[in-house]
Homo-oligomer: A and B are copies of this chain.
Amino acid sequence: MKVLITGIDGYSGWPLALHLLGRGHDVVGVDNFVTRRRVKEVGSWSGTPILPFPKRQQAVHDLLRKELGFHKGDLADYEFVRGVLATERPDAIVHLAEQRSAPYSMIDVHHAVATQVDNLTGTLHLLYAMREVVPDAHLVKMGTMGEYGTPGVDIPEGFFEVEYRGRRDTLPFPRQAGSWYHWSKVFDSGDVMFATRIWKLRTTDVMQGVIYGTRTPEITHDKLLTRFDFDETWGTALNRFIVQAVLGLPLTVYGQGGQTRGFIALEDSMQSLRLAVEHPAEPGQYRVFNQFDAAYSVNQLAEATVRIAAEYRLHPTIDHPPDPRVEAEQHYYQPIHEHLPALGYRAQRTLDDGIRQIFRDVIRFRRRLEARRHVVLPTVNWRVADSKPAIAARLPSFPGPSAPPPTAASPPSSVDPTV
């Protein structure tokens, strides 16, 4: 099949390209490199060194003997989107090109608006261009388990049958997101569901759990590494914990740490997306997959990190600063995930495997973390309308030896001139 990946330069876009190429699919990508710029905006960079995109393509050619197509451009430009679809005529489109950070969306009004407007516009442009150019293509849209929030009942895959005042109907499961970013994904889900209905498109909406890991089997060389974000704005809690352990800092568990979410290994997320691509939805079918393996609380992640850190002779403590987010710190959480197993999905990786993988890589690139150690503490507060991103100059009281604030003029030493 020919697969178009939007956001191919990102954390999951890149390993997905490698995985699909390895499975014999044709792959072409789109990116505007905004994540590289936005991570820089908050004073951080990828913990793993990642090559500029043309060098990534070259590495694919040299190491995997495959050709990777690419169009640089922005999904905000409808003519660009339509042009790419008309040129490439993909069988499937995996849409990953969205602002993906909840804390980034909560920085201030402008980041909130940019997140929602950019995500919604890109998705609408893709839907219209599909309708116009490739109406039989299959859209695999990256959403998030965070669309559902933490309701007091089980979470079905998109739809549930309810009885209300003596009548029954199958309805979309209500969404109760917890950040402007998560709401932007809810909005996308509405638009994708509606476009599917009126234009008989084929669509799969992936309610993605939190992904962890630095490796897939296709990442056989450092030139093929994907990005690894560890700062408070772009990194996940688990990434932050492991980096804190490596840097000798306490792990910062927000509040009581009972916040529970669904998780999946990078390799297994790629397996899931590939299964979705290889088993397309029917025309007019809007499918929802809850894509995760197991649910863990933040405390469980921190405890697993501490346990596995000891294998690397690291012995971090755990701190409990107040939760900057507005979320339940203890709650019921029971999402259903049956659609992907029905397509043959079997988990290949455990959480412990994933944590070991990350430790090995971040210890190797420890100097890159040292150079950005000021970015691993929370600074964006859900309750404050104008929060500040984690920029060193604004954090004079940060404990421990302080790195010089990074600027374009004085890049810290690094193993690679990349972001």
Residues of A bordering B, CB below 8 Å:
78, 108-110, 112-113, 116-117, 120-121, 124-125, 128-129, 131-132, 151-154, 156, 160, 162-165, 167-169, 171-178, 180, 183, 186-187, 190-191, 194, 197-199, 326, 332, 382-383, 385-386
On whether the beta carbons of B153 and A162 are closer than 8 Å, the reply is: yes
**From residue A3, how far is it (CB to closest CB) to chain B in Å?**
23
On whether the beta carbons of B131 and A385 are closer than 8 Å, the reply is: yes
| A-B interface, 8 closest residue pairs, ranked by CB to CB distance from nearest | A152-B169, A109-B128, A153-B164, A171-B174, A131-B385, A198-B326, A172-B174, A153-B167
CB-CB nearest in chain B for A326: B198
On chain B, the residues within 8 Å of A175 by CB distance are 172, 190
On whether the beta carbons of A172 and B176 are closer than 8 Å, the reply is: yes
On whether the beta carbons of B163 and A383 are closer than 8 Å, the reply is: no
On chain B, the residues within 8 Å of A153 by CB distance are 162-165, 167-169, 171
Copies in the complex: 2
On chain B, the residues within 8 Å of A131 by CB distance are 385
CB-CB nearest in chain B for A176: B172
Question: Can you list 17 A-B pairs, Cβ within 8 angstroms, ordered by A?
Answer: A78-B109, A78-B110, A108-B128, A116-B120, A116-B124, A117-B120, A153-B165, A153-B171, A156-B164, A160-B164, A162-B162, A171-B174, A171-B176, A172-B176, A173-B174, A180-B194, A187-B187
On chain B, the residues within 8 Å of A385 by CB distance are 128, 131-132, 199
On chain B, the residues within 8 Å of A178 by CB distance are 194
Partner of A152, one of B154, B167, B190: B167
On chain B, the residues within 8 Å of A198 by CB distance are 326, 382-383
On chain B, the residues within 8 Å of A113 by CB distance are 78, 120-121, 124-125
CA distance A177 to B108 in the complex (A): 29
Since A117-B120, A180-B194 are in contact, a sample of 10 more A-B pairs with Cβ atoms closer than 8 Å, ordered by chain A residue number, is A78-B109, A78-B113, A113-B120, A116-B120, A116-B124, A154-B167, A156-B164, A167-B332, A183-B191, A183-B194
CB-CB nearest in chain B for A155: B164
